């Protein structure tokens, strides 16, 4: 029976078909009464069935469901039913298309990883072989910002159980793009900033021309890298927007709207999907208010939850977004999870909870933190490998570079993003810093400060390019430690950044790793450490140290890097990494990494901009340089209270 139709015609038809029944229903014999009751019970059953199965009966159906079926489950150690209970979707909605099987050419593997631990030698070799006028810019950006105004209008009157973009905007201390889009008053600095913007447009235009929709551009062969889920597009959204490249931004937004398919039967790195896709979509939404980014990121966040279905709640590193199955990396010790991977989820997952108002995301990452606080740490250090089954360390290898790096970054940034209310993150960060200083920080014979790696008590006097982010990390954490140690941390940050700058020689680009043994000083003594794949970490520290100290040397060092990128990495159809930073007769690796667009060029642009472009008081950058706003709970609650007072 169609929902909403009157039952009266149906009743009339039933009674007409009962023999010997008068219109008044009087004069029924016993057998007739029995038949009548039988039909009446069938009718009641039919009506109740309509309440539960017809599409318009959802509200009535809720009335009859037990409370336990509608309550969210408690998320503890990652039971396999967590996701099913929170997100029930019919199977026919799962369309495994767009991202094909891992066996095919368009596998979803994100092969050119940044924060992922160093690949085995064979995999590394495979990877290596392989502006408009101001008035037009204002008009273009206005078209985009109108969507943000619509979002603000839409959430007026919404309560505290719903995310309100308007409230979020009002709780920022400063406009995200500054008074004049961060334009510096110094003409030379502005000229340098414009050069970085030109580099971004050049890189983007070639990607769009030769690799559109693929993960990355291969600039020498003018084709796309494996994968059809547009890593370079998602990674570029916020960079294009803050640089005012609005035509390019709108092209990227349209691709997200029409072509980004989040179903996959191939393998994907939980970590890489989180920092690039979740981070990129979150940043694009917070900067623009475009609803397409919010809906896509919430859909994606839901798909990541099955990776946490382990006995400990520590997620496995690889996930099939289509089926929800997950597993550990084959090269990881004893099926372990990686510190830098499961420890680099907190910022994004807290914001997924903010947007969805579903606590499951925050509960998942807080469960990780709870376990890490509980287990014993050798000398206060966090080893890089942890079993998701037993919850115990698998090896005692500690690194501030690959395998460990962004775990520490997310501790201090979780504290900052919480408006400095997350005392647990603060405590964990400064305790880790004390252990790092006591065990890993070293001084070379030449006076360079570096962070060695720790292998069960034996120091390896090596520092990876990835570890060079730590200058900026230590710098932004200097203000919130013990007051008497503020200058100490600033000095340490400056020393680490200086050491990383010294590794940028003679091409003014730095190797993948450099050593401080056998008489070497910040030098790659091994052939397989000499490559540079457009990494951002050194430039990232320049940007933070500039904002913290305004020492002009950081801008000069950044300009050195711009010139080196132009001289050695710019090719006819994009930018490419190089195989050996110690020779000027460069050999290119034929890969324009997506993080070059997201991080390297963004950090350079910010370095040459005024500090009010994405001010650090309001924004925290995730490890892929996607800006996420500080969450001011007290301000948001005040906004709700004021809205209610006005409405009453």
CA distances from 211 to 137, 221, 566, 598 (A): 26, 11, 21, 17
* 172, 616 contact by CB (below 8 A): no
- Phi, then psi, of 319 in degrees rounded to 5: -140, 145
Q: What share of the chain is helix, strand, coil (3-state, %, to 5)?
A: 55, 10, 40
CA 609 – CA 629 distance, rounded (Å): 19
Overall CATH class of domain 183-230+440-611: mainly alpha
Burial of residue 487, with CB atoms counted within 10 A of its CB: 0-12 exposed, 13-18 middle, 19 or more buried: exposed
Q: Which of 82, 216, 512, 540 is catalytic?
A: 512
Using alpha carbons only, what angle is made at residue 359 by residues 357 and 364, rounded to the nearest 5 degrees? Answer: 140
| Omega prior to 336 cis, within 30 of 0 | no
Burial of residue 100, with CB atoms counted within 10 A of its CB: 0-12 exposed, 13-18 middle, 19 or more buried: middle
Predicted confidence at residue 42, as pLDDT, reads 65
Which segments of the chain have a pLDDT < 70?
Answer: 1-160
> Is 639 a residue of the active site?
no
Secondary structure (3-state) at 230:
coil
* 195, 243 contact by CB (below 8 A): no
CA distances from 335 to 111, 315, 325, 365 (A): 20, 12, 15, 20
Q: Which of 155, 272, 409, 529 is catalytic?
A: 272
362 is known to lie in a ligand binding site? no
What digits encode the pLDDT tens for the residues 222-257? 999 988 899 999 999 999 999 999 999 999 999 999
3-state secondary structure 388-431: CCCCCEEECEECCCCCCHHHHHHHHHHHHHCCCCCHHHHHHHHH
> Is 272 a residue of the active site?
yes
First to last CA, the chain: 43
> Is 405 a residue of the active site?
yes
Predicted confidence at residue 541, as pLDDT, reads 99
CA 616 – CA 620 distance, rounded (Å): 7
Predicted confidence at residue 644, as pLDDT, reads 80
CA 112 – CA 599 distance, rounded (Å): 14
What fold does the segment set 261-419+617-647 form as a domain?
Glycosyltransferase (1.50.10)
CA 297 – CA 273 distance, rounded (Å): 11
* 171, 636 contact by CB (below 8 A): yes
Predicted confidence at residue 44, as pLDDT, reads 61
Q: Which of 290, 537, 599, 639 is catalytic?
A: 537
What digits encode the pLDDT tens for the residues 392-414? 999 999 999 999 999 999 999 99
Domain ranges of the chain: 183-230+440-611, 261-419+617-647
* 501, 541 contact by CB (below 8 A): no
> Is 267 a residue of the active site?
no
Q: Which of 354, 405, 495, 639 is catalytic?
A: 405
CA 82 – CA 27 distance, rounded (Å): 59
pTM of the model: 0.80
């Amino acid at each position: 029976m169609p929902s909403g139709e009157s039952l009266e015609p149906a009743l009339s038809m039933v009674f007409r078909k009962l023999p010997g029944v008068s219109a008044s229903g009087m004069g029924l014999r016993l057998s007739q009464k029995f038949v009548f009751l039988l039909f009446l019970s069938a009718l009641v059953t039919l009506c109740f069935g309509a309440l539960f199965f017809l599409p318009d009966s959802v509200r009535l159906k809720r009335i009859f469901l037990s409370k336990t079926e509608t309550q969210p489950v408690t998320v503890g150690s990652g039971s396999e039913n967590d996701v099913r209970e929170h997100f029930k979707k019919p199977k026919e909605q799962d369309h495994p298309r767009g991202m094909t099987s891992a066996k095919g050419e368009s596998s979803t593997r994100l092969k050119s990883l940044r924060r992922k631990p160093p690949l085995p030698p064979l995999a590394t070799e495979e990877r290596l072989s392989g502006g408009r006028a101001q008035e037009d810019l204002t008009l273009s950006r206005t078209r985009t910002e109108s969507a943000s105004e619509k979002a603000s209008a839409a959430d007026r009157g919404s309560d505290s159980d719903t995310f309100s973009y308007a409230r979020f905007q009002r709780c920022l201390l400063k406009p995200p793009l500054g008074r004049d889009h961060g334009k510096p008053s110094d003409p030379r600095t502005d000229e340098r900033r414009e050069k970085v913007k030109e580099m971004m447009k050049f890189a983007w235009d070639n990607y769009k021309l030769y690799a559109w929709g693929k993960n990355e551009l291969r600039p020498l062969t003018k084709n796309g890298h494996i994968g059809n889920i547009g890593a370079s597009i998602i990674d570029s959204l916020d960079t294009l927007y803050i640089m005012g490249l609005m035509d390019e931004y709108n092209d990227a937004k349209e691709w997200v709207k029409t072509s980004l398919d989040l179903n996959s039967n191939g393998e994907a790195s939980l970590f890489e999907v989180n920092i690039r896709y979740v981070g990129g979509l979150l940043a694009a939404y917070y900067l623009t208010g475009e609803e397409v980014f919010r809906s896509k990121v919430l859909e994606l966040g839901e798909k990541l939850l099955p990776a946490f279905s382990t006995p400990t709640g520590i997620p496995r590193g690889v996930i099939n977004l289509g089926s929800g199955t997950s597993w550990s990396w084959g090269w990881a010790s004893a099926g372990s999870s990686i510190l830098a991977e499961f420890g680099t989820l907190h910022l994004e997952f807290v914001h997924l909870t903010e947007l969805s108002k579903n606590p499951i995301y925050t509960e998942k990452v807080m469960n990780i933190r709870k376990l890490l606080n509980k287990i014993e740490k050798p000398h206060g250090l966090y080893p890089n490998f942890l079993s998701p089954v037993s919850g115990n360390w698998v090896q005692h290898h500690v690194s501030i570079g690959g395998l460990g790096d962004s775990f520490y970054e997310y501790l201090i940034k979780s504290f900052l993003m919480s408006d400095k209310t997350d005392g647990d993150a603060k405590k964990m960060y400064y305790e880790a810093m004390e252990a790092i200083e006591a065990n890993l920080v070293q001084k070379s014979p030449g006076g360079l400060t570096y962070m060695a790696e720790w292998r069960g008590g034996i120091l390896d006097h090596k520092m990876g390019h990835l570890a060079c982010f730590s200058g900026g990390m230590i710098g932004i954490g200097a203000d919130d430690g013990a007051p008497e140690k503020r200058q100490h941390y600033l000095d340490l940050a400056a020393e680490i950044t200086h050491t990383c700058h010294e590794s940028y020689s003679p091409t003014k680009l730095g190797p993948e790793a450099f050593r401080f043994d056998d008489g070497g000083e910040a030098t790659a003594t091994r052939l397989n450490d000499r490559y540079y794949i457009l990494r951002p970490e050194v430039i990232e520290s320049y940007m933070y140290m500039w904002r913290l100290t305004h020492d002009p040397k950081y801008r000069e060092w950044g300009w050195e890097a711009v010139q080196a990128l132009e001289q050695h990495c710019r090719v006819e159809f994009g930018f490419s990494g190089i195989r050996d930073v110690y020779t000027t007769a460069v050999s290119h690796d034929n890969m324009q990494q997506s993080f070059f667009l997201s991080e390297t060029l963004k950090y350079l642009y910010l370095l040459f901009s005024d500090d009010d472009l994405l001010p650090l008081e309001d924004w925290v950058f995730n490890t892929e340089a996607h800006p996420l706003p500080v969450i001011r709970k007290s301000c948001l609650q005040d906004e709700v209270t004021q809205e209610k007072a006005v409405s009453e």
